[in-house]
Amino acid sequence: MEAPVSNPLAIIGRVFLNSLAEIGRLSQFAGMSIAHILRPPIYWRLALQQMWLIGYNSLPVVGLTALFTGAALAQQIYVGGSRFNAESVVPGVVVIAIVRELGPVLGGLMVAGRVSSAMAAELGTMRVTEQIDALTTLSTDPINYLVVPRLLAAVVTLPLLVLVANIIGVLGGFMIGTERLGLNAGTYLQVTADFLERADVISSLVKAGVFGFIIALMGSYHGYNSRGGAQGVGKATTNAVVSAFILILLANLIITVIVFGDQT
């Protein structure tokens, strides 16, 4: 059945068709999962358990990422700003950059690395050891039991994590700014508060919620549909992380353009 490898057009065509089919399958899975949220039962206990796994356990890695990024950012902006004698913009630019972009994006990517892979590995193993089929034979819908709790947990938890990441990121900038760059602490906080707008925070949290959905969807989709033993599970795990990364960055761009695109 293999098409001749020598024909580049055939390869391009096949890749294109395969990706269209994949997008179709993914959309179908997403639609089915959302439909199941509206169709009880919802396993709240499992959702809480997932919130703990996603949220609490991700705090250290997300917090450290935000701290270091905020600090590095403050240093760079100080260096850049000092060329125009504009060192005072540091707090404002840091808070905007962190809250609008870096907090949600870096937080989302870190959590995707941790959580999408873990979900894909767990569900993938359940698939290849027939545990997902076993759920069905025990009168339990596997989408309700496995996918819905993960989706709900991630959508609720990611905004909370990103909120923490934003605060820690600003704190990182504050620490470098006041300790190393000699900015006044009171002024720093004042400028930060002046620059930050409600829309920044809301867009940040909306992004986080969308990223949470992407993270859980990619982990569940690739795990749920994995096949072919240990190798298949490994592939599902890789695909989950890579596709979550790409989709998070794409979704971020789309939301940024929609929310901030018409500001000049």
The number of beta carbons lying within 10 Å of the beta carbon of residue 146 is 24
Question: Does residue 8 have a cis peptide bond before it, meaning omega lies within 30 degrees of 0?
Answer: no
Cβ-contact 169, 225 below 8 angstroms: no
Counting every residue, how long is the chain?
264
Say how far apart CA 155 and CA 249 lie, in whole Å.
17
| 12 or 134: CB nearest other proteins | 134
Give the shortest CB-94-to-other proteins separation in angstroms.
Answer: 42
Rounded least distance, CB 137 to other proteins, Å? 4
CB of 150 to other proteins, least distance (A): 13
Quick one: DSSP state of residue 263? -
Q: How far is the CB of 236 from other proteins (least distance, A)?
A: 18
The nearer residue to other proteins, 49 or 256, going by C-beta atoms, is 49
Helix segments in 55-197, DSSP class H: 59-82, 90-96, 103-111, 117-128, 131-137, 142, 148-179, 185-195
* Least Å from the CB of residue 84 to other proteins: 58
Burial class (CB in 10 A: 0-12, 13-18, 19+), 224: buried
For CA atoms 248, 250, 255, 261, the dihedral sign is positive
Burial of 155 (0-12, 13-18, 19+ CB in 10 A): buried
User: Chain centroid to CA 183: how far?
Assistant: 33
Residue with tokens 């250290």: 60
Query: Which residues contribute to the site for other proteins (CB under 8 A)?
Result: 1, 126, 129-131, 133-134, 136-141, 145
> Which tokens belong to 239?
């695909």
Q: Give min distance, CB of 134 to other proteins, in A.
A: 4
Nearer to other proteins, 125 or 166 (CB): 125
Q: C-beta of 45: minimal distance to other proteins in Å?
A: 11
Q: Which residue from 92, 107, 83, 65 is spatially nearest to 177, judged by alpha carbons?
A: 92
If the CB atoms of residues 33 and 178 are measured against other proteins, the closer one turns out to be 33
Q: Are 108 and 158 in contact (CB under 8 A)?
A: yes
In the complex with other proteins, the residue whose CB is nearer, 1 or 9, is 1
Report, in Å, the least distance between residue 124 CB and other proteins: 13
